[in-house]
Amino acid sequence: MLLKVKTIDIVTGKKSVLLNEKDAKALDVRVHDRVSISKGGKTTVALVEITHTFVNPGEVGVFRDLVDDLSIVEGEELEVAPTRTPSSVLYIRKKMRGGSLSRDEIYSIVRDVVNHALSELELAAFLLAEEYLGMSMEETEHLTRAMAETGAMLDFGELVVDKHSIGGVPGNKVSLLIVPIVAAAGLKIPKTSSRAITSPAGTADTMEVLAPVEFSAEEVKRIVRRVGGCIVWGGALNIAPADDIFIRVEYPLGIDPRPQMLASILAKKLAVGAKVVVLDIPTGREAKVETMEEARQLAQEFVELGRRLGINIRCGITYGGQPVGYAVGPALEAREALEALHGKGPLSLIEKSVALAGLLMEEARTVPRGSGSQVARDILQSGKALSKMKEIIEAQGGNPEITPDEIPVGNKHIVITSPIDGYITSISNYAIRSIARAAGAPVDKGAGVLLHVKAGHVVKKDQPIMEIFAERSVKLAEAQSLFYTLKPVVIEGMLLDEFPSY
């Protein structure tokens, strides 16, 4: 059927077209069925959406994703025809029934994910099957390789090392210390990072306060060859592109399937050619992993999957029961990281950073086993890490001479004080994360939370315990209200609630 194009300036994140219900009936297609779209000898497959009125009979609404893909022009005619369901959907159904998938079946699913040939319902079915039925280590290996090989693969021509955290703990800006420490030791560390999804700041969000983070693969190679390391946003590199699509579906479902997490992390390491990787597994109350037993099991799975992929993995199980350092939010965390590089900064941030950097150098066999942490500490204390970070910032287009005090934070802020004398019994990761996001982080770079106390600290009545920063008054008010609802800082003896309330 020939239909006239009506372009729709909306990005949907998938290949889809909008048909009038009369044309849909004539083609015998329903919502989320597939049609082939042909133009000038080039054909692609799109998912069907249906309207009564937005496009007329004889027209096809084409969203911007497809307009760009096929260079479609308003008013031209396209050949639209029903097409079969891709075989990857059959493999998803097989997994839903508890079957094991072969290498070719998993590659087929991932290719169709990257080509936007699957609906969100089909993606959700696959992810839920992973969540509740699991995957064998062999299947997870195939998934990891498929996710890496369907995107860009970088080759630096020499040994590459990397670091990653499974996340879940606010304020975890350790990469901004680890990368310059390791690069100053002479290793190549191209750190590709994510932007925040549910947290107040991803590593890329924090680094972006100091320098641009979006580069092509060739630009990243030049930066790393020049200064030894980088901290960039992986999304701009087309590394493991299926991952962002999977995450978009996982987020509203509130799931994080174990096989998918393993594949997501190691596909990116495989794609940058990393041969040695240290993985940070924060463990504790309200972290992603709450018990040591679970942490050790996860570490074992990472090591096994790494062995299959030819990546030497060492896992650091770290304390994750409260935020790392005191700052949460992009600008506040960038300030705190720079302070640590200048020889100041909180002990928890410094100790975690030198420990993980030390493990990475030991695993790369550049320092004797057992001495890595001290070597990393020496590099940090000598100022070599700060000098290397300045080189990285400059190479990425930032100001290498920026000081912590020069980093702007939100000009709307409030100081919250202790209602009683006592000592801090706990800090809630969940509440701190929620308050910082309510304040506007990570979209508003200057928004976030600055803690004045940590668990175990003694406080006096009216002593500051926390500051909230925002760039907009309405966001500050929202975050302040959430503080009193969630009570993120618990002080021995404080009244947590009353009943009945009046």
**Helices assigned H by DSSP within 134-277:** 137-149, 175-184, 203-207, 217-227, 241-253, 258-271
Q: Which of 162, 205, 243, 256 is catalytic?
A: 256
DSSP-assigned letters across all residues of 336-366: HHHHHHTT-S-HHHHHHHHHHHHHHHHHTTS
H-run or E-run covering 43: strand 42-51
Residue 282 backbone zone (phi > 0: left; psi -120 to 50: alpha; other: beta)? beta
What is the rounded CA–CA span in Å between residue 226 and residue 145?
A: 29
Distances (CA, A) of 455 to 267, 290, 325, 490: 36, 17, 12, 9
Residue 394, both tokens? 């400059």
Is 277 within 8 Å of 163 (Cβ atoms)? yes
Pairing assessment for the beta strands 229-233 and 189-193 based on DSSP bridges = parallel
Of 104, 102, 93, 103, the C-alpha closest to 129 is 93
Is 176 within 8 Å of 203 (Cβ atoms)? yes
Q: Which residues share a beta bridge with 5?
A: 60
Q: Which 8-state DSSP code applies to residue 235?
A: G
| 256 catalytically annotated | yes
Phi and psi for 286 in degrees, rounded to 5?
Answer: 70, 10
Distances (CA, A) of 74 to 3, 8, 9, 60: 11, 9, 11, 10
**Active-site residue numbers?**
256
